Amino acid sequence: VRAGTAAEAAAAADLAVVTIPLRAIGQVPAEPLAGKVVIDTNNYYPQRDGQVAELDEGRMTSSELLQQHLSRSSVVKAFNHIAATQIVSARSAPGTEHRRAIVVAGDDEAAKQRVAAFIDAIGFDVVDLGSLADSWRIEPGTPGYGAEDDAEQLRAHLAAASRG
């Protein structure tokens, strides 16, 4: 393990994670991530990120914006609805009753499956939300965002989400 620049980390990554304020999406090095699976953990907070018309008007999701910037990568939304500390504290073995669940959303099925396998391996069930366009269902202000749900509860929260 060694320190490096964002571009060096992107070039070396097998699976990359983007965890930055949304306003900094343009700074994510696109070329080194070309052809790679990128996990998007971002959330849109207008008070932090400034107003983004595409998001405010519901024309796009934050993950679609990242996919647009990383047009040669496969973006998968995941981990945006769990606190970083809970990635360690809330994990459990497969088959555990009420095992915490994490959403995946993406437009590339193989990339989603790869991220889902990673999520399962580190201790969480997976709920496939669908496409990046559907990822608004797990953004701040929705019932599933921040909830400590198992897969069944998370599916119910996703179904109950409303845009607006």
Which residue in 85, 88, 116, 121 sits closest to 102, CA to CA? 116
State the CATH architecture for 6-160.
Answer: 3-Layer(aba) Sandwich (3.40)
CA distance 45 to 60: 15
Structural domain spans, the chain: 6-160
pLDDT at 2: 66
Report d(CA 55, CA 68) in Å as an integer: 13
- What's residue 1's pLDDT? 61
Query: How many other CB atoms sit within 10 Å of the CB of residue 14?
Result: 7
The whole-number pLDDT of residue 8 equals 85
Per-residue pLDDT of the chain (164 residues; tens, 9 = 90+): 667 787 888 788 889 999 999 999 999 999 999 999 999 999 999 999 999 999 999 999 999 999 999 999 999 999 999 999 999 999 999 999 999 999 999 999 999 999 999 999 999 999 999 999 999 999 999 999 999 999 999 999 999 999 86
The confidence score (pLDDT) of residue 135 equals: 97
DSSP-derived 3-state class of residue 111: helix
User: Is 142 in a helix, a strand, or coil?
Assistant: coil
For residue 109, the SS3 value is helix
